[in-house]
Amino acid sequence: MLDNYLEKLKHKPEHVRRNTALVASGVITGIIVLIWAFSLGSRFGGDKQAKGADPFAIIKNAFGEIIHRAKPASQTGLVQQGAIELKGDSK
């Protein structure tokens, strides 16, 4: 069945073959991402996965923490006004 499809695909124009390859790679990537997402709970949560923890919530929380840590210090209020002076700055 797959052999027949591939044989027919060989005779189609190049743009059709490229589109087919793009769709196939997207589907395969999506399956891999889903498997990865559902396995996150067992890596980070241990018993939480057995209790029905949502793997997408785990991903969301992880990215939220990464973004929070990546914010510049001026946005988080950790920079004191005038704490840094540049060389040659005369007051």
Could you tell me which of 15, 63, 19 has the C-alpha nearest to residue 37?
63
Question: What pLDDT is stored for residue 12 in this prediction?
Answer: 94
Tokens 């029905």 correspond to what residue? 52
Rg of the chain's alpha carbons, rounded to an integer? Answer: 25
The pLDDT tens digits of the residues spanning 26-65 come to: 999 999 988 888 787 666 665 554 456 677 777 787 777 7
Average pLDDT, whole number, for the chain? Answer: 75
Is 70 exceeded by the pLDDT of residue 85?
A: no
pTM of the model: 0.46
Is 90 exceeded by the pLDDT of residue 4?
A: yes
